[in-house]
Chains A and B, each alone.
Chain A
Amino acid sequence: MSDATVLIVDDEVGFVSTMSKRLNMRDMVVYTAYEGAAAMRQLAEHADIQVVILDMKMPGKDGLTVLQEIKELYPLVEVIMLTGHATVPTAIEGIQHGAFDYLMKPCSFDGLTEKILQAVALKEEHEGEAIEARVSDIANRMA
């Protein structure tokens, strides 16, 4: 059993590959995508993705749009945004749209893993609540 299932979305290939190798090493399952559309495909294919690490500045669809799509289709998936300093206001906007948190590039690797674990914990909590809600819903219906 892995610690977390992560999708890294960034147009920097070098960054993505190294990051995925390092996260792999820490018992995480890592999927990658280099732009927004690919990220949506990955999410559709792999229902086990718990956390998305999303770069804000990408060619094509920008991070904020992708975030909104993700939150619409997969509300329980947590998103950690990666941002350059100049896009801090964008990141704040992202949090208002439901992102878990943001990290500034270049980010410290330990900080990132910690954030991922926190996000997974939060997601599991949310899923638990959702299941409970469904259980009580079914129980109510049966009663």
Chain B
Amino acid sequence: MHPEKKSSYEGLSRNIVLTVITVSMAPLILVGGLIFHQFRSIYRVKVYSHLCEVVDKHKDTVNTFLLEKLNEVQYLSRAYSYAELTAPGVLSETLRGMQQQYGRIFVDLGIVDEQGRQVSYAGPFNLLDADYAEADWYVNSRDRASSISDVFLGLRQSPHFIISINSEDADRKWTLRATIDFLAFTHLVENIRIGETGYAYILNSEGVFQTRHADNREQRLTLTPVKNIPYPEAPQGVTISESEGSDGETYLTISSDLKNGEWQLVYQQSVADAFSDMSRTENITLLVFLLGGLCIVVMAVVVSRKLVHRCKFIDAESELLNRQMVETGKLAAIGELAAGIAHEINNPVAIMIEEAGWVSDLLEDEGGELPSCSEIDRALAQVATQGRRCKDITHKLLSFARQTDSRVGEVDLPLLIREVVEISMQQARCVRVEFSLDLDESVPSVHASVTELQQVLLNLINNAIQAMESDGGTLAIACFADSSHAIMEVADTGPGIPAANLSRIFDPFFTTKPVGKGSGLGLSICFGIIHQMGGEIDVESTVGVGTRFTIRLPLPHVSHEQKTVAKEIHHV
């Protein structure tokens, strides 16, 4: 095959593959990308709104808790007078009552006088007479009726915070102080645990932690805000931002004001964790997409290979057909040329023969006494003989140009074969060749010229007999039909044709016979005749075994039943 042709097949294959991939992948990518994007943004919104809600709800819970405790302490300060509260045992009684009522949230109670000295105390620590004058919580609460302090370690060296109520009556100002259990408070926010990294904490305005860190957290994870995420549906006071953590991960931070802005409830979760469900779905989708893409590519390649292979096959077939057409055309051209030449040669040959005849006439009359008379006679006879040979050749050439009777009629092949065999019988008997006929009488008639077919068959039979001349043999002639062709086979048991000659036996003037024995036109005439009829002639030959010529002639249209009958008979 030509290299250009090969590359054009490869180009075709490549084009088909590219087209199929483009056409099927483009919508896939578009639709996939769109859904991917939509899913991503919708999921983001859902996560944000869920987290905002959680933070907001807990903010409310914490606020409510603080307010309740404040109210409870406030109630206490209103319900009892200074004297009552400082009376021995009353405060302890009250604390016990409150602890019974609300659990061990209130750790202790204390009354602090105007100078910051604790004058009465109930609780687990020995803090009576403690001086709070310099304590932050006391200083900060002096000018307010009630206040809640930040968490601090204080005198007892454990984190706690204090609710203080300033009261006054006619003769003095005093402060009721209640300590809230840090653990109980911390539990309020520690409950907020989402995913693996999501947890909440409370910061005061200076950024100091007001709750414990979760045990398994890095204690000091510093977060640098990267961007604020404006989220329109966030409840009042809730802000969302993304921050780069010191551990390299990106964190989602949601914060909300507490205690009138003094504290902040902060919820923090790594982005990867918050969106883990989404990433998993995305990964699965991506995998499906990749596998699908791979399938499409493989299919495209396979299908294009098949298509191109088929194309190649068809091209090769048509090339073969073209070659046959060229062959036929070549033969026709040669035929015309040969006919022209034969015609032109006929006249001079005729004259030569006549002249030779004239000389011999003259010699007969008056040359009897010439000494070389017999020699001249012989020469003239030779001229005449060779002239006749020329004539034979030119007449064969003219047959080759198909100037025989080519009128087409219905030909009964078995009958034709028997006739021709009869003609050849005498010649065959001389050289000990036996005929073996296998004729299917039901073969339908073909449209052909009888004389031409006779010529072809006679030629094949003569060739076969000549091939078996030396040793004798069997000449098997078979005739049958398949669905669309009538087939004649002429097989001999002669010496066979060497492979080198096999491709040339249909060429005009190709002959292996000695000079003067054959013109080399017989088989090319056969070839031309059979192709003219739309048929085929093939040869198979094995040296030492024999040669088989197969002629396939197209059958005129036959109905289906006839065909099957013919087939059955053939198979039987």
Chain A residues with CB under 8 Å of chain B are: 12, 14-15, 18-19, 21-22, 25, 57, 84-86, 88, 104-107, 109
B392 to chain A, nearest CB (A): 11
A107-B401 Cα distance, complex, nearest whole Å? 21
> Would A14 and B395 count as touching, CB distance under 8 A?
no
Complex CA gap A109/B351 in Å reads 11
- Is the beta-carbon distance between B347 and A85 smaller than 8 angstroms? no
Given contacts A86-B339, A86-B398, 7 further A-B contacts (CB under 8 A): A12-B347, A15-B354, A21-B358, A22-B354, A84-B343, A104-B395, A106-B391
> Is the beta-carbon distance between A85 and B395 smaller than 8 angstroms?
yes
**Interface-central residue, A18, A19, A88, A104, by most chain B CB under 10 Å:** A18
The 3 A-B residue pairs whose C-beta atoms are closest, nearest first, are: A106-B350, A85-B398, A18-B354
Chain B residue with minimal CB distance to A82?
Answer: B350
* Complex contact A86–B387 (CB within 8 A): no
A12 to B, closest residue via Cβ:
B347
Query: Across the interface, do A86 and B354 meet the contact criterion of CB distance under 8 Å?
Result: no
In the complex, chain B residues whose CB is within 8 Å of the CB of A14: 351, 354-355
| Residues on B facing A (Cβ under 8 Å) | 339, 342-343, 346-347, 349-351, 353-355, 357-358, 361, 365, 387-388, 390-391, 394-395, 398-399, 401, 403
How far is A107 from B357 in the complex, measured between Cα atoms in Å?
Answer: 12
Of all chain A residues, the one with the shortest Cβ separation from B399 is A85
Q: How far is the CB of A80 from chain B (nearest CB, A)?
A: 14
Contact at B346–A105, with CB atoms within 8 Å? Answer: yes
| Shortest CB distance B312–A (Å) | 45
Nearest-CB distance from A93 to chain B (Å)? 13
A18 to chain B, nearest CB (A): 4
A86 and B350: CB pair below 8 A? no
Return A85 CB to nearest CB of chain B, in Å.
4
| Docked complex Cα distance between A84 and B399 (Å) | 12
Is B354's CB under 8 angstroms from A19's CB?
A: yes
Taken together as a complex, chains A and B put the C-alpha atoms of A86 and B388 apart, in Å, by 17
- Is there an interface contact between A109 and B354, defined as CB atoms closer than 8 Å? yes
Contacts of A57 in B (CB 8 A): 343
Indicate whether A109 sits within 8 Å of B357 (C-beta atoms), given known contacts A12-B351, A15-B350.
Answer: yes
The residue from B339, B351, B390, B391 contacting A18, defined by CB atoms under 8 A apart: B351
CB<8 Å pairs between A and B, sample of 20: A12-B347, A12-B350, A12-B351, A14-B355, A15-B350, A18-B351, A18-B355, A19-B354, A22-B358, A22-B361, A57-B343, A84-B398, A85-B342, A85-B394, A85-B399, A86-B403, A105-B347, A105-B350, A106-B349, A109-B354
Chain B residues with CB under 8 A of A106: 346, 349-350, 353-354, 387-388, 390-391
**A86 B365 Cβ-Cβ under 8 A:** no
Min distance, Cβ B298 to any Cβ of chain A, angstroms: 66
Query: Which residues of chain A are near B399, meaning CB under 8 Å?
Result: 85
**Residues in B whose Cβ lies below 8 Å from that of A84:** 342-343, 346, 398
- Do B355 and A86 touch (CB < 8 A)? no
Residues of A close to B343: CB separation below 8 A = 57, 84, 86
- Bound Cα distance A106, B355 (Å): 12
- Inter-chain CA distance A70–B471, complex, in Å, is 58
Bound complex: CA A130 to CA B426 (Å): 49
Q: Which residues of A contact B357 (CB under 8 A)?
A: 18, 22, 109
Q: B350, A25: Cβ atoms under 8 Å?
A: no
CB distance from A87 to the nearest CB of B (A): 9
Contact between chains at B350 and A88 (CB < 8 Å): no
Nearest Cβ on chain B to A126's Cβ, whole angstroms? 29
Question: B394 to chain A: which residues have CB within 8 Å?
Answer: 85
Contact A25 B361 (CB under 8 A): yes
**Cβ distance B143 to chain A, nearest Cβ, rounded Å:** 142
Determine which residue in A57, A84, A88 has the highest number of CB atoms from chain B within 10 A of its CB, and name it.
Answer: A84
Q: State how many angstroms separate the Cβ of A8 from the closest Cβ of chain B.
A: 11
User: When the two chains form their complex, are residues B358 and A18 in contact, meaning their CB atoms are under 8 A apart?
Assistant: yes
User: When chains A and B are docked, how far (Å) is the Cα of A57 from the Cα of B351?
Assistant: 16
Closest to B401 in A: A86
The answer to whether B351 touches A85 (Cβ under 8 A) is no
